[in-house]
Amino acid sequence: MFDKVLIANRGEIAVRVIRACQEMGVRTVAVYSDADRLSPHVLLAGEAVPIGPAPASQSYLRADAIIEAARETGAQAVHPGYGFMAESPDFARQVIDAGLIFVGPSPEAIAEMGDKTAARARMVSAGVPVIPGSEAVSEADQGVSEGDRIGWPVLLKAAAGGGGKGMRVIESAADLPRALSAASREAGQAFGDSRVYLEKYLSDPRHIEIQILADSHGRVIHLGERECSIQRRHQKLIEEAPSPVVDPGLRARMGEVAVAAAEAVGYVGAGTVEFLYQDREFYFLEMNTRIQVEHPVTEFVTGVDLVQEQIRVAAGLPLSVKESPDWPVGHAIECRISGEDPFSGFLPSSGMIRALEVPCGPGVRWDGGIVEHFEVGLHYDPLLGKLIVHAPTRDQAILRMRRALRELQIQGIRTTQPFHLAVLDEADFRAGDISVRYLDRHPELVGTAGGDWQARAAAVAATLLEHRSRVGEGSFSMTPQPPDRGTGGISQWRRLGMID
């Protein structure tokens, strides 16, 4: 086992990895930007190394600074968490070339599964069911021809990305040329790769994923499924395990396919094979070659610490767990708590956390990356923490999550907490009648999310200006602000009657 691991990330996932290491007797090193010097992950780690200014491009995306920090502190391994460079084959290769261990799959596996068109081709050859689609398209005529072959409507997707970037629904051939240009431009800006491809558009699918673990001794297992259908613009908001629609037979079939997908690329580590499911059929969507944000729900229903298994496998040890016929045990639900206003189009909310009380009690877990007096800025992903519950049944888990959400108190900024409470009270969600179109069917749950674009633009500008006036560019403030300034620029405009 390693003596010391560096965590190349921030926020709640960095805290999660540090805790896993501490429970294994492994020392930890945090890295941090100027804006994060008093962040929870910095205070929790055994050592902490500054790596640059607040913008991620000058800190958390600097492979050279991160590798130098590992060398300086004597860390033997680098855990990338999720996001930032967790799925960068170049970063993984640089870590390995520096004589360090990358806690994740090989650079080759990351590259193969990260390129969506290459991954589709590999899955087809492995016998994994995939959604009908195309190779990368660059010309409108080529796209129209492929769309005619696949059948309209189609989904335009970035070949090198995820998270909805570069994604467009194309209803007909006439809509493709303009959408192709916009999607290619967006993909290039987001991923440095402008390639896009077409995929058959499923009208009302569920998003179901399978967690896998693989070691370097030839063992690959799956730990069942997670339901991730509550999404906004392809970003997951609520996840649960097991899925309300997956029975033991379907779970076994999906698990076999997920294991085959991992074996096809010689996968080692923790990973997730994602599927779209509709009309009792499932199709390969993509493979995430990292730990997932929603991994705690699987941990609850299996009793397996996925992060510790990641670290064991990276150290060359065999998996310490065996698949159990009793999985899943009970039901788990996760709500992502973000610094966003769900009733104003999920606009970001910045400010100081003036008070924080997290829920506790049976079957309740809080994975957080904030503390009281922490300044939430606009440099990074707005995820503040994750609230996860476990109970014997789904109905009981919903009731437990409602109780836990009401106990959660975050003062100083707006969060997605009320949105989650609204979903948990909605009849279709309680009945398990959900899909990736859930919020399209229930726009009332996000209030004025589609409001006037001018008001929304004004609110964004107000938020940015207030953030800059309060903390400055790339700086960190521990000075409490007056109460009327702690909830971000959105509230200022709301009080002035500029937005609903």
- Centre a 10 Å sphere on the Cβ of residue 89 and count the other Cβ atoms it contains: 21
DSSP of 316-354, one letter per residue? TPPP-----TT-S-SEEEEEEEESEETTBTTEE--EE--
Nearest to 66 by CA among 94, 35, 28: 94
List 168, 195, 206, 290, catalytic entry: 290
344 within 8 A of 459, measured Cβ to Cβ: yes
Rounded to whole angstroms, the Cα distance separating 360 from 113 reads 38
Rounded to whole angstroms, the Cα distance separating 55 from 49 reads 16
354 within 8 A of 411, measured Cβ to Cβ: yes
Residues contacting residue 333 through CB under 8 Å, at least 6 positions apart: 238, 239, 240, 297, 388, 389, 394, 397, 398, 401
How far is residue 494 from each of residues 269, 343, 386, 451, 461, measured CA to CA in Å? 47, 12, 27, 13, 13
DSSP of 39-73, one letter per residue? -HHHHHSSEEEEEE-SSGGGTTT-HHHHHHHHHHH
* CB-based burial label for 68 (10 Å; 0-12, 13-18, 19+): middle
Nearest to 434 by CA among 227, 254, 266, 287: 227
Residue 290 among the catalytic residues: yes
Structure tokens at 226: 């997670």
Residues contacting residue 154 through CB under 8 Å, at least 6 positions apart: 146, 147, 169, 170, 198, 199, 200, 201
Rounded to whole angstroms, the Cα distance separating 245 from 125 reads 28
295 within 8 A of 247, measured Cβ to Cβ: no
Nearest to 293 by CA among 278, 272, 267: 272
Residues contacting residue 361 through CB under 8 Å, at least 6 positions apart: 403, 404
Nearest to 293 by CA among 417, 418, 388, 361: 388
Which residues are designated catalytic?
290
